[in-house]
Structure 1
Amino acid sequence: MQSNGRSDSQSNVDGMGVTKEHCYFCFDVLESHFENRKPMPAPFEDEKYPLFVTWNTVPSSSSTSKRRGSSDHQLRGCIGNFSAMPLHRGLAEYALTSALHDRRFSPIVASELRRLSCAVSLLVDFEDGSDYLDWRVGTHGIWIEFKSESGNKRTATYLPEVAKEQGWTKEEAVESLLRKGGHKGKITQEVKDGIVLTRYQSSKTSVTYEEYLDWKKQNQYVN
């Protein structure tokens, strides 16, 4: 996943938490982009949250192989923002940004819609870690700040589910995150001790495209 910068104003964010309607709205934003129409009105309150939108390819029923570090889905885009945003604007923006402008992947095309799932993560409970290991796998996402070999500040983040899905220890997750953030040299204890870590949690849910179509039909949304 990619992110915009963290702001100092985002300590704890209270509110209603994520709902499937957030994901349905993201699907409609993406579908409306391909159909050259206006998306539906957002069917939820316009609370403010830091947020991420993630698109995955839904696995086929015949795909049953599992191994350490593997996942049962294929990432197609994940981008978000660590500054709290109104959900109507934020989800509309990042539904498209993560689908079309994640530089790690080719843009999603209309023919992929039926094979996709959409996940929305609303980020909450930001806390300063006492060191780079002051967090729990499966509970916390981590945001790290560190200095590159040239002395420039670098940042990187993993959402709460990443380390658990990959089967990483905390040490492995932090070392991977340093590489993601652009550290190219040897990862020494001094490098890790120099990390400034922020931990956070997320309220997350996901839906498939078929679930979105069923919901739209039941609620009589028409193009």
Structure 2
Amino acid sequence: MALIAFNELDHALNKAELISYPLSQPSESALFVTWKIKGDLRGCIGTFIPQPTIDLVRKYALIAALQDPRFDPISPQEFKQLDCTVTFLGPLEPIEKDDWIIGEDGLKATFPGNKSATFLPEVALEQNWTKHETYEMLARKAGAMGLSGMKLMKYKGTKDSMDYNEYIKTKQN
């Protein structure tokens, strides 16, 4: 699915031909598309609502690359430096605080005032955060005024990743 995300962004930035690929994932998924350059985040957006997989990958490949409000849009000059990961999300499971494993479980937190945020399973591990630091960062990301009233859900994620060079090799075959 990372191949489809790359191809969609290549088409948007460089007018590359869209290629049809056989569907090898479940027909409906909840997912996030993540773009990085040299390990630095350049965009990550997705949905917890399962929808047709290929449509979601194509949609969120572009939204994450071009419309993530935390970043400037990815430019054509950056395209050759990109890594892409499509993370397929498992079901959300309500949990009590600390009933999750760093690096294994993703977290979705909701706060009073209809505020929410999520971190994919690898984020706390990559950032070397403790569980409490993760809660604080979720609150900050959600725009919440603290941890009071926070409700947590955890989920698993399955990743499909590729970098620009893998994309070009696969596209040529």
**In structure 1, what is the Cα distance between the partners aligned to 2:122 and 2:154?**
13
After TM superposition, the structure 1 = structure 2 runs for residues 125-140 of structure 1, keeping only pairs within 5 Å, are: 125-129=91-95, 131-140=96-105
CA RMSD of aligned residues (A): 1.4
User: Contact 2:7 / 2:16 at 8 angstroms: preserved in 1?
Assistant: no
Q: C-alpha displacement at 1:44, in angstroms?
A: 1.8
Give the number of equivalent residue pairs. Answer: 172
Question: Could you say what secondary structure the match of 1:52 adopts?
Answer: strand
After TM superposition, the structure 1 = structure 2 runs for residues 59-74 of structure 1, keeping only pairs within 5 Å, are: 73-74=39-40
Gaps of 5+ in 1: 1-21, 59-72, 219-223
Determine which structure has greater relative contact order: mean sequence separation of CA pairs < 8 Å that are 6+ residues apart, divided by chain length. 1
The answer as to 2:80 corresponding to 1:114 is yes
Q: C-alpha displacement at 1:122, in angstroms?
A: 0.2
Q: C-alpha displacement at 1:34, in angstroms?
A: 2.1
Partner of 2:90: 124
Partner of 2:34: 54
Task: Give the counterpart of 1:178 among 132, 135, 139.
Answer: 139
TM-score, normalised by the number of residues in structure 2:
0.93
Partner of 1:141: 106
Task: Give the counterpart of 2:164 among 205, 209, 212.
Answer: 209
28-37 or 105-114: which moved more? 28-37
Q: Which amino acid aligns with 2:7?
A: D
Task: Give the counterpart of 2:150 among 195, 202, 205.
Answer: 195
User: Contact 2:44 / 2:64 at 8 angstroms: preserved in 1?
Assistant: yes
Q: C-alpha displacement at 1:138, in angstroms?
A: 1.0
The answer as to 2:121 corresponding to 1:160 is yes
Partner of 1:65: none
**In structure 2, what is the Cα distance between the partners aligned to 1:164 and 1:35?**
34
Gaps of 5+ in 2: none
Question: Could you say what secondary structure the match of 1:214 adopts?
Answer: helix
Q: Which amino acid aligns with 2:28?
A: K
Q: Which amino acid aligns with 1:155?
A: S
**In structure 2, what is the Cα distance between the partners aligned to 1:76 and 1:108?**
7
Partner of 1:3: none
TM-score, normalised by the number of residues in structure 1:
0.73
User: Contact 2:36 / 2:83 at 8 angstroms: preserved in 1?
Assistant: yes
Question: Could you say what secondary structure the match of 1:112 adopts?
Answer: helix
| Cα shift readout 1:91-127 (whole Å, capped 9, x = no counterpart) | 0100100000001111011111111111110001421
User: Contact 1:132 / 1:174 at 8 angstroms: preserved in 2?
Assistant: no
Q: Which amino acid aligns with 1:180?
A: K
User: Contact 1:25 / 1:43 at 8 angstroms: preserved in 2?
Assistant: no
**In structure 1, what is the Cα distance between the partners aligned to 2:34 and 2:81?**
14
Q: What percent of counterpart residues are identical?
A: 37
